[in-house]
Amino acid sequence: MKMDNRRTVGILVMATLLAGQATNGANTGAEKDTSRKFVSVKDFGALGNGIADDTAAIQAALNAAKGADNNAVGRSVFSLYFPSVPEGFYRVTETLVIDGTHGLVIHGDGALTKRGGENATIRWYGTESKPVFQVKGGTGHKEVAAGLARTKASNPNFYIAFRDLTISGYRTRLPRKGELPTALALSGIHFGTLKGQGNPTLCRRAIVENVHIFNCRFGIWSGNPDGENTDHATVLVTGCVINSNAQAGIYWGTGNALANVISCDVGGNGWAGSSFPVDAYSAQIGANIHVQSGYMDIVSNTSAGRPTSADIYQSSGRVAIINAWSDTLGYFFYQASASRSGKAYQVGQITGVRHYAGTMDATNTPNSMRIVAPGTFVSSCMVYGNIEVMSGLGGRPVFAGINFMRPGATYTGSGVQAQRSLTVLGNAGNSAQILLGGANAGVPLAHKGRATPQILSMGNNPCLFQVLDASAAGTGLSFHTRTDDANGNHTLLMNGYFTRTGVKPLQADKMVWLLKLGGSHGWSVSGFDPAGSADEIPLGSLVDFGGFKVAPVSGHRSQVAFQPPARRGPPSFQSGDFWIGSMYYDTSTNKLRVNTGGSKWVDLH
């Protein structure tokens, strides 16, 4: 009997599909058509049932992404898909290596597709502490063959993406007390080499997006444990949840490595940081984010927990933090050091930080930040604990708009108490404040917040100034005043700084003010018109403006008196009611005179 051709074709197609289903899980993927842009790990034999070891099948798929030449050309670019399996996961016992691959996208059905403490798309079941994924890619390295040195060609990774996955570094939830298992994964995603692999690594334009990583020693690790260079620029981590990793959520290591961490939740990590010995992968530092080297920008980050060291810990490198909500107990930011280029520090900014939780107290969160690098700019932050300033006078850190939540919290550290390297603009509770560093040691700085302005000069052109212990024997000064000079300006500029020869004046318009501090005089103000000169003026050429004086006896400095200026006749400058209440001591009549309006002067005795 003659069969219809269309029916014959249909039977053949059905037979082919059935045969494919019967052999799925047994093939190696070698005969698969990887020219397609969308390939599932199941096409290479992975089952995802949580029982079978899927390592070999997944690695076969990753190898296929490198192309037939397994080197730098002829790559087959495709998207590798991990379909979510009901009640299952992909069981991995050896590191999945991505080495010299271009344009590979590894993705699943979404992060945390199943709720639970240990559910994951990919789960580590290895017997040693190794990465789940390793992005390796070499920058070229020397080999010695037959006594001759030669360099292998560069074989980097370009445009590698991890999306919509959940990666767990251990088979169950990690315990928060007691000893940790020795076989938990070293890292969920590892950019760089392992100890002993030695070669420098290169990865350009990697992205980790909407990925949940937990139950590892490090969620994401970047660096080279043998001290070789890394060139990982730029790795973007965005929209991720990285939590419950024992030593750090993100560790950023050696070399020319740049990372952007944007809109992530990196919290609940680093609680066991001090439990790990110092090794090639990290010092005994527990943090949500640990920057060992390289550059990192952290934007719109949220965090919580109690790491052993800090929420964000900077061993070196450069860190910028823009907008962060932190419920982390202890330090929010700890800067142990910062990288230098020559003599200059590579500094970043910290702005828009909220470091506060209802469970904080002076015991569990005494300090919120520690700043070392000169030039660091911290602005618009609300913090619970103190801010430690540890830098010297060679380029001060600057603080603007800092609000301390805990009563009594303030600026502490050697940079404040000894080196006076502090610049503060506008603290909480101050209507207007400028506090400039450079004061001598031993004088308490009034920066804890006041109901009234500390420094304010009123007028059309206000000028603000504060001097703190500008001479060795002084006690500090806050000035609040106004003046009208002969040009009709409403400006008062007072500049005073301590030198070995005393306090020097500086000029503003046509009026220079000399502020004298210390000794038996609490302070006095003198002024003159130097006709444009800003040089130091001998005391004999100054017009005496009088001033306050205190008792010269030690321990009686609270006894204050005002000494009027002394002159041989009334001041020649007349300006309506400007002089009302002014006084001077007339040396020609030996009488004290007071102004009652205009040019009217009367004797007081």
67-81, 296-310, 330-344: least confident range: 67-81
- Are 209 and 238 within 8 A, CB to CB? yes
Determine whether 79 is exposed, middle or buried from the number of CB atoms within 10 Å of its CB (0-12, 13-18, 19+).
middle
pLDDT value for 68: 55
Position 187 pLDDT exceeds 50: yes
Structure tokens at 476: 């500090």
Higher per-residue confidence, 71 vs 551: 551
Residue 297: its H or E element: strand 295-303
Where are the extended beta strands (E) located within 87-182? Answer: 90-92, 96-98, 105-107, 122-124, 133-135, 142-145, 148-151, 157-158, 161-168
What pLDDT shows up at residue 169? Answer: 96
Whether the pLDDT of residue 208 is over 70: the answer is yes
Question: Is the bond preceding 23 in cis, omega lying within 30 degrees of 0?
Answer: no
pLDDT, the chain, mean: 74
Strand ranges (DSSP E) for 432-510? 434-436, 456-457, 466-467, 477-478, 480-481, 498-499, 502-503, 507-508
- Tell me the C-alpha distance between 555 and 240, whole Å: 62
Judge whether 332 and 360 are in contact, CB under 8 Å.
no
What does the pLDDT read at residue 577? 52
> CA 317, CA 252: separation in Å to the nearest integer?
9
Q: Which of 1-5, 145-149, 206-210, 569-573 has the lowest mean pLDDT?
A: 1-5
Amino acid at 19: A
Residue 130 CB neighbours (<10 A): 19
CB atoms within 10 A of CB 98: 26
Which of 144-153, 491-500, 531-540 is the most confident on average? Answer: 144-153
**Cβ burial, residue 53 (10 Å; 0-12/13-18/19+):** middle
Position 300 scores a pLDDT of: 97
557 phi and psi angles, rounded to 5 deg: -70, -10
pLDDT of residue 188: 98
How much is the pLDDT for 65?
Answer: 81
Whose CA is closest to 476, among 520, 440, 512, 431? 440
Q: Is it the case that residue 525 has pLDDT exceeding 60?
A: no
CA-atom Rg of the chain in angstroms = 35
DSSP for 240-281, please give it: -EEE--SSEEEEE-SSS-EEEEES-EEES--TTGGGSPP-SS
pLDDT for res 10: 33
Measured CA to CA, the distance from residue 587 to residue 605 in angstroms comes to: 14
The answer to whether the CB of 399 falls within 8 A of the CB of 369 is no
Terminal Cα-to-Cα distance of the chain (whole angstroms): 144
Place of tokens 């439990």: 275
Three-state DSSP string of 525-547: EEEECCCCCCCCCCHHHCECCCE
Band of pLDDT at residue 389, cut at 50, 70 and 90: confident
User: Is the confidence at residue 194, as pLDDT, over 90?
Assistant: yes
Which of 368, 372, 385, 469 lies closest to 421 in space, CA to CA?
Answer: 372
**Residue of 234, 298, 222, 236 whose CA lies nearest to 267:** 298
Range with the lowest mean pLDDT among 135-144, 218-227, 264-273, 491-500? 491-500
Residue partners of 317: CB distance under 8 A and separation at least 6:
252, 291, 292, 293, 294, 295, 296, 338, 339, 346
Taking residues 140-147, what's their average pLDDT?
Answer: 53
Evaluate if residue 93 carries a pLDDT over 80. yes
pLDDT(87) > 80: yes
